[in-house]
Amino acid sequence: MSHFSYRNGVLHAESLALSEIAQRFGTPTYVYSKAALLENFAAYADACKKHGRATAENALVCYSVKSNSNLAVLNLLAKQGSGFDIVSGGELLRVLAAGGDPRKVIFSGVGKSREEMQLALSHDILCFNVESAAELKRLNDVAGELGKRAPISLRVNPNVDAKTHPYISTGLKENKFGVAFDEALAIYRSAAILPHIAVVGIDCHIGSQLLDDAPLLEALDKLIELIDTLEDEGIAIHHLDIGGGIGINYNDDQPVAVGDYLGRLFARIDAWRAARHAGKAIAVLFEPGRSIVGNAGVLLTEVQYLKHSPDKNFAIVDAAMNDLMRPAMYEAWHGVQTVKQDGADVRTYDVVGPVCESGDWLARARELALAEGDLLAILSAGAYGMTMSSNYNTRGRSAEVMVDGDQAHLVREREQAAQLFALEKLLP
Ligand code: LLP
């Protein structure tokens, strides 16, 4: 069920009119629905329970912080028992500030620094997802200096085609992520004898915005094959991390339902464990981002000017590529809805921002009835919206508001220009 819908001709977030939010907090503003977030998280948690995995030791959802890292979002999910997938020391500090449990944190990323390793080790995180032999060596050294053993998974690149946008596909052998499937065994062997490394799991993440789960199940089969080989060699694997990647509906997309995907995944895992491991369970980890937060947010913006040229109609709005990068970066399609439904003069518009780049567009060739001052909602903007935003053109980042029923909570203030150059200094 969508938590953004028209009531009496006005688009609402849950029970609150978006026009009221614009009036109170201004625009551009990211607006999130708490109910949508909880519902999306529950799709994972409920499927885990349904398939006999009721505790964090059996199945753990590690929400991918990079998709939306607002403290209120992280705190809400932490309270549901969520773990977190991080890719920087900064994200770890956010998770801690939001009340997240470091023992439910997994640390991905190809370029972890020594300082980031130290920070994560000092908080006893659940696992490092190691992406190269060089990183493994460094992690062993850093853990040794701290007198610790670092728990690790190798991020294995299963070389399956996720059939998604090339910029967000990560599981092919030409991608920079993970270690090649054929090299994984040798690296595991070396990890198993390093004094400050504890092999605990195996990991992959093949890409993002996947509409079909077939590539994920194919990746699972490759991981299963490797786990059996490792266990034959006496290297025990306690958890299997299948990554994130389930897509959402942007433009008549029909992503697989989370419950169906998890059902198929657990069925395969259970059949394998029964056949090869006398039914002994293995913990399963997930790293979803977009499927939890993507459709739980919109970007609310106001039409500043309408510009009609002989070839094109432009709606110039107060949000721009610095607020929502996805169209400029991936030619991503986001739905656009007017907050008030009553416009009569329908024309074909490009919705563009004030930034001085031709690439600064949010939507192209949309049939809209617009007047100056109208409010628009850019849909499905909850994931990789605010987190990818920038201050280009010295534009302060948007405010963020979370709606709960008919209440709106400001969860991030709008940035003011003076804050943007506060760290800068003149020459002496
Ligand atoms: N785990 C790892 C290791 C990842 O790299 C990612 C996303 C995720 C989990 C979460 O994937 P999700 O469930 O959200 O698909 N900026 C792009 C998406 C980049 C995804 C990067 N990795 C976009 O706006 O579409």
Question: Does pTM top 0.95 for this prediction?
Answer: yes
Is 356 part of the annotated catalytic residue set? yes
Which listed residue (48, 62, 127, 356) is catalytic? 356
- In the numeric block, which tokens belong to residue 158? 């299963």
Rounded Cα–Cα distance for residues 78 and 82 (Å) = 5
The structure tokens listed for 392 are 């280009």
Length of the chain: 428
- From the number of C-beta atoms within 10 Å of its C-beta (0-12, 13-18, 19+), residue 185 rates as middle
CATH superfamily of this structure's domain 4-32+294-420: Lyase, Ornithine Decarboxylase; Chain A, domain 1 (2.40.37.10)
Q: 246: which 2 tokens?
A: 């389930």
Mutate to test the pocket of ligand 1, among 163, 208, 324 (most ligand atoms within 8 A of CB): 208
C-alpha 170 chain-centroid distance = 14
Give tens-digit pLDDT for 143-158: 999 999 999 999 999 9
d(CA 348, CA 369): 9
Indicate the burial class of 49 (C-beta count within 10 angstroms; 0-12, 13-18, 19 or more).
Answer: middle
**Residue 143: C-alpha distances to residues 1, 84, 124, 129, 410 (Å):** 47, 21, 11, 15, 40
Bridge partners of 337, per DSSP, are 377
**What kind of fold does domain 34-290 have according to CATH?**
TIM Barrel (3.20.20)
- Asked if 373 contacts 302 with a C-beta cutoff of 8 angstroms, the reply is yes
Q: Can you give the pLDDT at residue 171?
A: 62
Q: What is the pLDDT of residue 375?
A: 98
Which two tokens mark 274?
């029964």
- Average pLDDT estimate for 216-226: 97
Which of helix, strand or coil describes residue 28?
coil
Peptide bond into 28 cis (omega under 30): yes
Q: What is the pLDDT of residue 177?
A: 85
Q: Indicate the domain borders of the chain.
A: 4-32+294-420, 34-290
Q: Is 178 in the pocket of ligand 1 (CB under 6 A)?
A: no
Which residues are bridge partners to 301 per DSSP? 376
pLDDT at 163: 72
At 204-220, the pLDDT tens digits run 999 999 999 999 999 99
- pLDDT tens digits along 273-325: 999 988 899 999 999 999 999 999 999 999 999 999 999 999 999 999 999 99
**How far apart are the C-alpha atoms of 64 and 289, rounded to whole Å?**
5
| Ligand 1 close to Cβ of residue 51 (< 6 A) | no
Would you say the CB of residue 84 lies under 6 angstroms from ligand 1? no
Say how far apart CA 39 and CA 261 lie, in whole Å: 16
H-type helices in 277-410, by residue range?
290-293, 326-330
Nearest residue to 136 (alpha-carbon basis) of 198, 217, 74, 93? 198
Q: Can you tell me whether residue 244 is helix, strand or coil?
A: coil
